[in-house]
């Protein structure tokens, strides 16, 4: 067993950083046995040095640049976010030959190429398992376990806040606003929940997953994104009638045309999911990712996608791998971008749709609505119609729910625009996609 310790610098002492420091200290003997050398905490970078941080004050420093440049630091664990100053600190560490472990999804979705090139030049490791789904191992299975297979599709629930909100709406019939308020009160939602509820967090994770699964650099800007703020209690009632649940999905897919041309699709949006699909029953703040590969078939990864301890578990897995490589003189998987596939626009993506609209209650309405779908070559699979009443109980029109067969986003968008112009259509309430169902 090596006598020389592996020096660790931790940047950030929030929930995850605190757990990482605790594990390094309390599991020192086990970690040494697994790695072949002891881990030694050299310092913790913080915004403000104080005695009440739960770490010996002599280990705390506000000078991040000095900490990552120390000769006795071998691995830098970045847990401070956001993109800056984290990017600057990670680049400095890599350029000085330090391996890096990070949980920074926004940074990895934006700067994977730059960071991977720096790691390659310095011949060190860059690990980021915790950047996608907390404790759930997804990155390593894609880069190692499935390295000899061809991944076709990765789809998952990768944001615990939105899944908690949608689960509450499904279970209780609550409005979006009410469910968000409950999530905030319980600590599941940030004071500013925009990154979660508008899909930015999930889009960053989708970019990372697509890049790895399809050996192509995909950034967050390449990911089509819709949030959950327009999903209503009425949508959930309709979903239940159709045998579905509604989930915010991150979907990464390899598309192959009839001529064999390959493209990548990466998208995030709320979608109706059939109750017999494995993602439909993932509730609360839990995450799940389903990977489909040509030889392996369907694999599902499920667990806690956030929180200090679960995320620290994934971080420490990366730390152990990077430390082993230091001891043994090896390196982990490098960035794989050989495929260089183009990213398909959302307009070219075929899927099924749910369209909910208010219409006038008069003869010929259904035929007029159906004619617009037909004119834009969108095939209807199912139609539901129900009467509507006002506050006094008087009839005030009807509600129509249309479920389509597979159609492109472009065709469906043109159809919805045409429907909105019809005199018999009072309002398009919502348009949601359906995933996991046959066409």
pLDDT digits (tens, 9 = 90+) for 143-159: 999 999 999 999 999 99
What is the percent of the chain where pLDDT is above 90? 86
Q: Is 154 a known ligand-binding residue?
A: no
Q: Is 284 a known ligand-binding residue?
A: no
Residue 1 clears pLDDT 50, i.e. is over it: no
Per-residue model confidence (pLDDT) at position 241:
93
In degrees to the nearest 10, what's the CA dihedral of 193, 194, 197, 200?
-130
Alpha carbon distance, N-terminus to C-terminus of the chain: 58
* Marked catalytic residue, from 4, 51, 88, 205: 205
DSSP state, residue 235: H
Compute the distance between CA of residue 251 and CA of residue 271 in angstroms, rounded to an integer: 11
Residue 205 annotated as catalytic? yes
Least confident of 132-141, 210-219, 292-301: 132-141
- Mean predicted confidence (pLDDT) in 414-428: 96
pTM: 0.93
Average pLDDT of the chain to the nearest whole number: 94
Residue 376 clears pLDDT 60, i.e. is over it: yes
Per-residue model confidence (pLDDT) at position 54:
83
Residue 438 clears pLDDT 70, i.e. is over it: no
What are the structural domains, with CATH classification, of the chain?
A: 6-134+308-328 (3.40.50.720), 139-304 (3.30.360.10), 346-434 (3.30.70.260)
Q: Is 186 a known ligand-binding residue?
A: no
Q: Is 307 a known ligand-binding residue?
A: no
Residue 394 clears pLDDT 90, i.e. is over it: no
Compute the distance between CA of residue 172 and CA of residue 214 in angstroms, rounded to an integer: 39
Helices (H), 242-276: none
Q: Is 297 a known ligand-binding residue?
A: no
Q: What is the pLDDT of residues 250-293, one digit of tens each?
A: 999 999 988 889 999 999 999 999 999 999 999 998 999 999 99
Q: If phi over 0 gives left and psi between -120 and 50 gives alpha, with beta otherwise, what is residue 228?
A: alpha
């Amino acid at each position: 067993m090596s006598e020389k310790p592996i020096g660790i610098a931790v940047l950030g002492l929030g929930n995850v950083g605190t757990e990482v420091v605790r594990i390094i200290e309390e599991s020192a003997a086990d970690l040494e046995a697994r790695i072949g050398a002891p881990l030694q905490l050299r310092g913790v970078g913080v915004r403000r040095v104080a005695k009440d941080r739960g770490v010996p004050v002599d280990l705390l420093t506000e000078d991040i640049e000095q900490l990552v440049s120390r000769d006795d630091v071998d691995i830098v664990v970045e847990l401070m976010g956001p993109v800056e100053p984290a990017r600057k600190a990670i680049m400095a560490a890599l350029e000085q030959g330090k391996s890096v472990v990070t949980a920074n999804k926004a940074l990895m979705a934006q700067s994977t190429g730059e960071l991977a090139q720096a790691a390659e030049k310095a011949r060190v490791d860059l690990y980021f398992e915790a950047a996608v789904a907390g404790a759930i191992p997804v990155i390593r299975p894609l880069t190692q376990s499935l390295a000899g297979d061809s991944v076709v599709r990765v789809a998952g629930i990768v944001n615990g806040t939105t899944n908690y909100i949608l689960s509450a709406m499904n279970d209780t019939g609550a409005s979006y606003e009410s469910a968000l308020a409950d999530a905030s009160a319980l600590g599941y939602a940030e004071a500013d929940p925009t990154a979660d509820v508008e899909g930015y967090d999930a889009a960053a994770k989708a970019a990372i997953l697509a890049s790895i699964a399809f050996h192509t650099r995909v950034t967050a800007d390449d990911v089509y994104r819709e949030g959950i703020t327009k999903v209503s209690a009425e949508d959930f009632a309709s979903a239940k009638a159709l045998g579905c649940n509604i989930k915010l999905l991150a979907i990464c897919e390899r598309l192959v045309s009839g001529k064999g041309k390959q493209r990548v699709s990466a998208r995030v949006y709320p979608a109706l999911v059939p109750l017999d699909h494995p993602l439909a029953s993932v509730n609360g703040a839990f995450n799940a990712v389903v990977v489909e590969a040509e030889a392996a078939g369907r694999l599902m990864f499920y667990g806690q996608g956030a929180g200090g301890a679960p995320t620290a578990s994934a971080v420490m897995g990366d730390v152990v791998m990077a430390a082993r490589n230091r001891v043994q003189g090896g390196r982990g998987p490098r960035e794989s971008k050989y495929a260089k596939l183009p990213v398909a626009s959302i307009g070219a993506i075929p899927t099924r749709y749910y369209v909910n609209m208010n219409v006038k209650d008069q003869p010929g309405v259904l035929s007029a609505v159906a004619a617009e779908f037909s004119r834009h070559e969108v095939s209807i699979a199912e139609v539901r119609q129900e009467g509507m009443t006002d506050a006094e109980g008087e009839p005030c029109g009807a509600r129509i729910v249309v479920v389509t067969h597979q159609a492109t986003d472009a065709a469906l968008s043109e159809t919805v625009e045409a429907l909105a112009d019809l005199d018999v259509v009072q309002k398009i309430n919502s348009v949601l996609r359906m995933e996991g169902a046959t066409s």
